[in-house]
Amino acid sequence: MVSVLFVCMGNICRSPTAEGVFRKLVFDAGRDAEFEVDSAGTIGYHQGERADPRMRAAATGRGYELASRARRIELLDFDRFDLIVTMDEDNYRDVEALNPGSRARVVRMIDYCEKHEVPEVPDPYYGGESGFHQVIDILEDSCGNLLRRL
């Protein structure tokens, strides 16, 4: 079984959406028995909250369910997960700073992006509705390629 953890800052926009998109792609491919999938944030400010309502609405409209609750990444995650996928450079640096030298491989989500030329998965929290759809576009591209490589 391959375990994948998606990480953004607050775990209410990008990483729960990556989790939802990846879960659906895995399910649609008939490979759900092969994967453990979760998401977390580098901060615990939104601990226990559902994904942002604007992101949930955008995701639902595209056929994705965002059912997880926000949590902060913890040291045990570095032993629990094979792959920790970060949404932006700050997330990458924060996760690497926590990494106790475990078996988990820390990567950037955009490393799997082929259709979109973006430096990171942008945080849509302070923007308008189009930002949430842009994030889903990027994540569909990246998660699809990630699944094909696993």
The set of catalytic residues is 8, 14, 123
Amino acid in position 100: P
**How deeply is 11 buried, as exposed, middle or buried, from its count of CB atoms within 10 A (0-12, 13-18, 19+)?**
buried
Q: Which structure tokens are listed for 108?
A: 């950037």
Count CB-CB contacts under 10 A for residue 92: 21
Closest by CA to 39, choosing from 62, 76, 67, 70, is: 70
Q: Is residue 66 helix, strand or coil? A: coil
Bridge partners (DSSP) of residue 86 are: 7, 108
DSSP element (H, E) containing 144: helix 129-149
Tell me how far apart the alpha carbons of residues 134 and 123 are, in angstroms, rounded to a whole number: 10
